[in-house]
Amino acid sequence: MAKPVTKFAHRVTNVEEIPRLVAHAWRTAISGAPGPVLLDCPIDVLFSPPQMDRIAWGSINRPLSYAPAADPAAIKEAAQLWSQAKRPAIITGTGARGDTFAENLLKLAEATNTPVFYSPKYGSVIPHGHKLRGGPAVRLALLPTINEQPPDLLVIIGARTGFLLGGRSGAILPNSNCKLIHVDVDGSEIGKSHAIDLGIISTSENFVTQMLSAAIKPTSSSSSSDEWIKTAISLKDLKDPAEDQPSEMAPNQPHPYHAIKAFYQSLPQGSIITIDGGEVGSWSLQLLEHAKPSLAMVSTGYLGFLGNGWGYSLGAAIADPSRLVVNMHGDGSAGFHLAELDTFARFNLKILTVISNNSVWGMSLAGQDLIYGDKTPQRQASKLNPEAEYETVAAGLGCAAAKVNKIADIPDAVEQLLKSGKPGLLNLIVSSRPIHPGTKAMLNTEVGKEWIVVPYYDNVPRPYYKT
């Protein structure tokens, strides 16, 4: 069972082998792209007395291996491409971390005058307010809409190409007139979906350190480059079209954009935000810069599976108890592991859960509306219970809880929840009406009547089999 979802799964058959196997499993888990391992220790094995002189220690008490670093030739080539670029940008992802990473990435960005964007999966390490903080990489797709050119060099560091970075559409990672450098600890990520000009197998940390000593000439310091960089940085501040939409779609039915914005603005800066849910996930991601988080993670991943946010926030709260962890959910995704509120309360974890409650599986409903229109208006399968008292469940499990259906009440509610000193839950009522533009984009590729388009994954057209 475990084999397909682990990097190593093994049943121990001999008690003396345990130290060696633990060492091996641990090294496997942390090498290359890190991932889970499983050692199954049957009770009869655990109860057998070991023969002490036969214990296999393996490398259990030896230092861990050095991590992969770039070939010097690759660093030279990267430096060359960088110094020729007029519109370079960096995109960081989940792999963009490590003890010295943030500090050195900032130095590298400054030395090369390169703006840094982050993939939807993992927030930026560049400080808020820094002149090279680009914000969400998805915003690069807006450049053509303001008559600006796309980047001519993208350095993708520890981020996967794929649907979270615009798939093969070219909207975020251009398909032409842009050199792509892809740095990943897992070579199989490189070139998977895009024509990569320079692939580098290395940890992000080693790569930026090596680049720093490569003495790159700063990016062409022409005034046109400076202007472009300024524009790229300001993409995150472009006015959002939802800003002009009403803050309430009906009485006590706040627009999710305005509700989440107000919520984010009520948070302490430097929180860790984990994002789950459908429509709420898209709004939460788009608004992230308003929360000024230290880190943000979309927990639904490349297959978009709901429910993981509970585990992500639990992990984050244990890993960094000094920060507030914000666990963003829809009423759908919240249902997957709602009982984790009990864990949060018993361990008194600093987690604030938000249920953006539109009483539907909103993204599913939106998709059905877009595809079927009023042909099948019932949408029974997309309904959730509008009466569900998530705040009662949370209070019953020992959390502080509140329900809010007015934007003006959000700041106070958040303040009270945070003051309580307990894990909190905010049942935030929102309207199901506005469909996030990202949901529309997933569905609206027009390729002719005889085709259908598979949503999510690159909008791949498929023959339409219905006659």
Ligand X SMILES: Cc1ncc(C[n+]2csc(CCOP(=O)(O)OP(=O)(O)O)c2C)c(N)n1
The residues binding Mg ion (CB under 5 A) are 330-332, 358, 362
CB of 407 to ligand X, least distance (A): 17
What span, in angstroms and rounded, lies between the C-alpha atoms of 263 and 415?
10
Q: Which amino acid is at 72?
A: P
Q: Which does 184 bind (CB under 5 to 8 A by kind): ligand X, Mg ion, none?
A: none
Which residue lies nearer to ligand X by CB, 205 or 391? Answer: 391
Which residue lies nearer to ligand X by CB, 102 or 338? Answer: 338
Which residue lies nearer to Mg ion by CB, 323 or 379? Answer: 379
Which residue lies nearer to Mg ion by CB, 82 or 361? Answer: 361
Q: Which does 204 bind (CB under 5 to 8 A by kind): ligand X, Mg ion, none?
A: none
CB neighbour list of residue 400: distance below 8 Å, 6 or more residues apart: 394, 416, 417, 420, 422, 423, 424, 425
CB of 283 to Mg ion, least distance (A): 11
CB of 176 to Mg ion, least distance (A): 39
Burial 53-69 (b: 16+ CB within 10 A, else e): eeeeebebeeeeeeebb
CB of 127 to ligand X, least distance (A): 30
Q: Which does 426 bind (CB under 5 to 8 A by kind): Mg ion, ligand X, none?
A: none
CB of 430 to Mg ion, least distance (A): 8
CB of 283 to ligand X, least distance (A): 8
The residue sitting closest to ligand X, measured at its beta carbon, is 330
Q: Which does 306 bind (CB under 5 to 8 A by kind): ligand X, Mg ion, none?
A: ligand X
Which residue lies nearer to Mg ion by CB, 236 or 433? Answer: 433
Q: Which amino acid is at 60?
A: I
Q: Where do contacts with ligand X occur on this chain (CB under 6 A)?
A: 277-280, 304-307, 330-333, 356, 358, 360-364
The residue sitting closest to Mg ion, measured at its beta carbon, is 330
Which residue lies nearer to ligand X by CB, 8 or 361? Answer: 361
CB of 416 to ligand X, least distance (A): 24
Q: Which amino acid is at 419?
A: K
Q: Which does 414 bind (CB under 5 to 8 A by kind): Mg ion, ligand X, none?
A: none
Which residue lies nearer to ligand X by CB, 302 or 451? Answer: 302
Burial 303-320 (b: 16+ CB within 10 A, else e): ebebbbbbbbbbebbeee
Which residue lies nearer to ligand X by CB, 160 or 422? Answer: 160
Quickly tell me which residue has 């107000």 as its tokens: 262
Q: Which does 28 bind (CB under 5 to 8 A by kind): Mg ion, ligand X, none?
A: none
Which residue lies nearer to Mg ion by CB, 108 or 275? Answer: 275
Would you state the structure tokens that stand for residue 206, as one six-digit string? 């080693």
Q: Which does 122 bind (CB under 5 to 8 A by kind): Mg ion, ligand X, none?
A: none
What span, in angstroms and rounded, lies between the C-alpha atoms of 285 and 363?
15
Q: Are 151 and 88 in contact (CB under 8 A)?
A: yes
Would you state the structure tokens that stand for residue 70, as one six-digit string? 């770039």
Q: Give the distance from CA 139 to its chain's centroid.
A: 15
For 275, phi and psi rounded to 5 degrees? -120, 125
Q: Which does 305 bind (CB under 5 to 8 A by kind): ligand X, Mg ion, none?
A: ligand X
Which residue lies nearer to ligand X by CB, 102 or 306? Answer: 306
Sheet (strand 424-429) strand order: 295-298, 272-275, 325-330, 351-357, 424-429, 400-404
Q: Which does 304 bind (CB under 5 to 8 A by kind): ligand X, Mg ion, none?
A: ligand X
For 400, phi and psi rounded to 5 degrees? -80, 145
Concatenate the DSSP letters of all residues of 20-50 into one string. Answer: HHHHHHHHHHHSSS---EEEE--HHHHTSPP
Concatenate the DSSP letters of all residues of 44-68 into one string. Answer: HHHTSPP-GGG---TTTTSPPPPPP
Q: Are 132 and 116 in contact (CB under 8 A)?
A: yes
Q: Which does 340 bind (CB under 5 to 8 A by kind): Mg ion, ligand X, none?
A: none
CB of 36 to ligand X, least distance (A): 19
Query: DSSP assignment, residue 254?
Result: E
CB of 235 to ligand X, least distance (A): 25
Q: Which does 189 bind (CB under 5 to 8 A by kind): ligand X, Mg ion, none?
A: none
> Where do runs of H (alpha helix) occur along 129-266?
204-212, 223-234, 256-265
CB of 436 to ligand X, least distance (A): 8
Q: What number of residues does the chain have? A: 467
> Taking each helix axis from N to C terminus, what angle separates 256-265 and 410-419, rounded to the nearest 10 degrees?
40
CB of 386 to Mg ion, least distance (A): 11
Which residue lies nearer to ligand X by CB, 279 or 340? Answer: 279
